Structure 1
């Protein structure tokens, strides 16, 4: 007899007939191997939980099982001698229960920090699934991986042994412009947990109490909201890091300013924040803010600034250790945060900064087109320690990103960087939900850079945002392609715009240019189908399966996509008419131009980003094709193989 798919009753035999395939897991595990056979959860399972498991991990597992169709979850304290239904064991470390479960599945525990093992095996008329974490974080990650596997109707017998390549992985809300709302941050913390990220840095440039008014205490209401956010982070096994930015006004040698900073961090500690960060970026560092710094550190300049900053940071680090021996190391971002060229400032930090302090670095530029292993090694030498990469992607708070969402895959970071970095933090966009597209890649690269596949992870991000709906995921991929441009501070982007659409439009141009009538008609028909997909994608994205925050924060771009799609529909109709020698071609092309102009005039959401303006969608690709289309087919003898005019709504 055969086990049935999830949601149906289990039969006597645990072995399923047919082919068993390796599941897709994002981030890619360090090791995943099929073990032979398969099992299904069915509608009823037994959960065996070790005493040390934290409640949020159990809650998450129960949600995963419910989503997989499990209706009844009974509990037990130990494993049976005879398995008549699926048993799931949850625990950490060297617990005897975990040891028993792993022994029965023939697996061993991954002992790296945040590591875990998942082992599944059909036994008797039931089966055993062991979710074993090296620590609580690892166990939580194991359940997040199981969430992806359990979404399939049948679970293959397998062994996953997994752990992160980089100890710090996540995001830094460090952009200019409208900060995220507390609701955005809460959703983002839930998302970070789902991709096994473990760090969120609160550092919005426009929080006055973190930067301009850093000495002042937070209003009680704001402090309470930050406390709730920190609690959400803990439930998600994410380290909530509070960043203070005193650089614009701090007097480094003034004990009163050091006391003010310590009071600020003490207040955050009372609401459950235990990780801290001092941001010294985007400040004038060749001029003192007070006369006493000149007396303490000498004439102002880059080297003196490095000495003064190190003195302040060392004092903060020492205070953290005095108050909490188990506190995480202080993180800082230096004033010279980009490139790794030797300088008096970097030399001063290297010489004077406490080696426990973590230093951030943005790569070879503020927005680097690529980051290599030699780049990171040079940064290690310059700062005297491995750096924590502040990756300014997909942030869109600078001028060349005006009108853009940055939805290309996370790419051009070299495999092997995990040997040279302490981790990666992505600086996301002002739009939280759209940021998840790239951040999924950042987290996956930080977890396993050597097996990272940018395109595969990109598609996985679309599936996740689409709630698993294949049609919605396909619509999102069309939209992502129109927002593929990745600018730098220079004139050349590091990722091109709309590569998939450009390839399709180039095929149309080529088919028309070759002069073969049949090929030309096929290409124009295919163009019409693609135009229909583009025009229809926004409605699919807004239909309810896609995360509603994504649809709302992308609203003007989706509005523009509808119009650009309709313009391309009319363009395809115009080419078809021109191919047949019909006078209707002019009318279609004129209508396409009007819609293109209307689409190009749509503005970003006021106040949502630092620089507002008209939204850009497949610019340089779609607009150019629509503009060129009337010139692609001239008048000539009418082809005998006429096709009927393609009906298109004006």
Structure 2
């Protein structure tokens, strides 16, 4: 497997706990997941209130998590969103400088500058973002910088929600950004069903470098997607992608234990190539995460968990509760919490985080 894999915690809604983050990183590291990027939308000090310092308790937890990554040999990164900056003046520079100094102090290796999910139909969008990224590059000790464009997919949903993308926007970013910097890309859709070689090559031509994949599977952080548990093995991610991407980052599900199952199948997809079978890969990954008995039970429930939808379970809900209530495993507890509605995402959550 020649592609660099990692986790990008970039979802909306209920965040993982610090212990869940550390445990997931430790579980996936031996399987080839070599980087972790902390960028949950709920961390307002990286997004809407990015100019404010993290409270001391959060800062200490981030430092501890960075230390755990270092011990595991996992690259630690943080994503910051200079949210809808209109003028990158002295106050903005001072605020960003303080953030970068904090990141340096705790050992951030990957600095991600994220311009996603904010208004993009503004004059000079690309040039303003280039200015911010170039300034940050001069004031960070991170040895890798990754930029998320405002338009990080071909999907027209971004134009409907955030305004029409400026003509030549991606090409301008690609031409102006230092070629050593990486650029995030989610594919033909926000949540891409598959990645084709033709698409990846075309995007690479636009941005003048291989795209750094921000893969929105198994994430389930929208009002509709939170109705489902994404536990099925990956499809549409062929091993041939390895030569066409800079790296492959996975935006995980809201459920930290269950997300390990599709994460493991991605490793298998790259390693087995044309011999990959997503159904059998799902079962093998579930055994690695839950043990054989619970894995077989989960495998029997994949169709209901992933394809029916929480509000359409009807009498299936009672059957699921009977099968998973009282089972002493975090994956089982996540299934019950999902049934209880603890992972529901509303449009209000997405619009305010």
TM range (shorter): 0.7 to 0.9
Partner Cα separation in structure 2 for residue 277 and residue 480 of structure 1: 34
The equivalent residue for 2:236 is: 412
Alpha-carbon distance in 2 for matches of 1:243, 1:216:
15
Note closer, same or farther for the CA distance 1:392–1:463 as it changes in structure 2 (3 Å cut).
same
2:68 matches 1:333: no
Aligned partners of 1:456 and 1:538: how far apart in 2? 26
Cα drift, residue 417 of structure 1: 0.6
Question: Displaced runs of 4+ in structure 1, greater than 3 A?
Answer: 340-343, 443-453, 534-544
Deviation at 1:428, TM superposition (A): 1.2
Shift of 1:207: 0.6
Q: Tell me, which stretches of 5 or more residues in structure 2 are unaligned? A: 157-165, 348-353
Matches within 5 A, 1:169-248: 169-248=5-84
CA contact (8 A) 1:165 1:449 kept: no
* Structure 2 CA distance for partners of 1:448 and 1:242, relative to 1, 3 Å: farther
Q: Structure 1 residue 414: deviation in Å? A: 2.9
1:421 and 2:245 matched: yes
Q: Quick one: distance in 2 between partners of 1:242 and 1:314? A: 17
1:271 corresponds in structure 2 to 106
Maintained 8 Å contact 1:408/1:485:
no
Cα distance in 2, alignment partners of residues 238 and 221 from structure 1:
23
Please, which runs of 5 or more residues in structure 1 have no aligned partner? 1-163, 288-299, 488-496, 499-530, 558-601, 613-650
Separation in 1, partners of 2:184, 2:246: 9
Is 1:306–1:348's contact at 8 Å kept on the other side of the alignment? yes
Kept in 1, the 8 Å contact 2:13–2:345? The answer is yes
Alignment partner of 1:352 is 2:176: yes
- Residue 471 in structure 1 maps to residue 293 in structure 2: yes
Deviations 1:165-196 (A, max 9, x none): 11x31211111111111111111111221322
Is the 2:264–2:285 Cα contact (8 Å) retained in structure 1?
A: yes
Check the 8 A contact 2:193/2:235 in 1, yes or no.
Answer: no
How far the C-alpha of 1:336 sits from its partner, in A, is 0.7
Q: What SS is found at the alignment partner of 2:95?
A: helix
The question of whether the paired residues in 1 share the 8 Å contact of 2:290 and 2:331 is answered with no
SS at match of 2:341: coil
With over 3 angstroms needed to count, the CA separation of the structure-2 counterparts of 1:381 and 1:536, relative to structure 1, is closer
Tell me which residue corresponds to 2:132.
Answer: 312
Cα distance, 1:318 vs structure 2: 2.9
CA distance in 2 between partners of 1:337 and 1:279 (Å): 10
Max Rg structure: 1
* Post-superposition CA distance 1:389-427 (Å, at most 9, x none): 111111111232242111121111233111110121111
- How far apart, in 1, do the equivalents of 2:319 and 2:63 lie? 44
> Is 1:604 the equivalent of 2:341?
yes
SS at match of 2:98: helix
Query: In structure 2, how many angstroms separate the alpha carbons of the residues matched to 1:476 and 1:609?
Result: 21
Q: Contact 1:252 / 1:309 at 8 angstroms: preserved in 2?
A: no
Q: Deviations over 1:312-354 (max 9, x none)?
A: 112222333xxx4xx4220111101012999421121022111
Note closer, same or farther for the CA distance 1:340–1:405 as it changes in structure 2 (3 Å cut): closer
Provide closer, same or farther for how the CA distance between residues 444 and 374 of structure 1 changes in structure 2, counting only shifts above 3 A.
same
Shift of 1:463: 0.4
2:2 is aligned with 1:165: yes
The alpha-carbon distance between structure 1 residues 413 and 226, as it changes in their structure 2 partners (threshold 3 A), is: same
Deviation at 1:227, TM superposition (A): 0.8
Note the alpha carbon deviations across 1:275-296, whole angstroms, 9 max, x for none: 2111100111223xxxxxxxxx
Q: Secondary structure at the match of 2:184?
A: strand
Provide the secondary structure at the position in 1 that maps to 2:144.
coil
> Is the partner of 1:484 in helix, strand or coil?
helix
- 1:517 — aligned with what? none
Change (3 A) 1:221 1:442: same
Aligned position for 1:19: none
Shift in Å, 1:480? 2.2
Name the structure where helix makes up a greater proportion of residues. Answer: 2
The 1:536/1:181 distance shift into structure 2, 3 A limit, reads closer
1:508-587 equivalences in 2 (<5 Å): 535=319, 539=323, 542-544=326-328, 548-556=329-337
For this pair of structures, how many residues does the alignment match?
Answer: 333
**What TM-score, normalized to structure 2?**
0.86
Contact 2:76 2:107 in 1 (8 A): no
Contact preservation (8 Å) 1:475, 1:541 = no
Check 1:338–1:269 CA distance in 2 against 1; reply closer, same or farther (3 A cut).
Answer: same
C-alpha separation between the residues in 1 aligned to 2:104 and 2:276? 36
The 1:170–1:444 alpha-carbon spacing in structure 2 relative to 1, beyond 3 Å, is: farther
The secondary structure found in structure 2 opposite 1:263 is: helix
Q: CA deviation at 1:247?
A: 2.7
Secondary structure of 1:433's partner? Answer: coil
**DSSP 3-state at the match of 2:45:** coil
Alignment check: 8 A CA contact 2:327 2:333 kept: no
Higher RCO by CA contacts (8 Å cutoff, separation 6 or greater): 2
The 8 Å contact of residues 440 and 461 in structure 1, kept in 2 or not, is answered as yes
Deviations 1:585-630 (A, max 9, x none): xxxxxxxxxxxxxxxxx6412xx33239xxxxxxxxxxxxxxxxxx
Say if 1:347 and 1:383, in contact at 8 Å, map to a contact too: yes
Structure 2 residue aligned with 1:257, among 76, 79, 92? Answer: 92
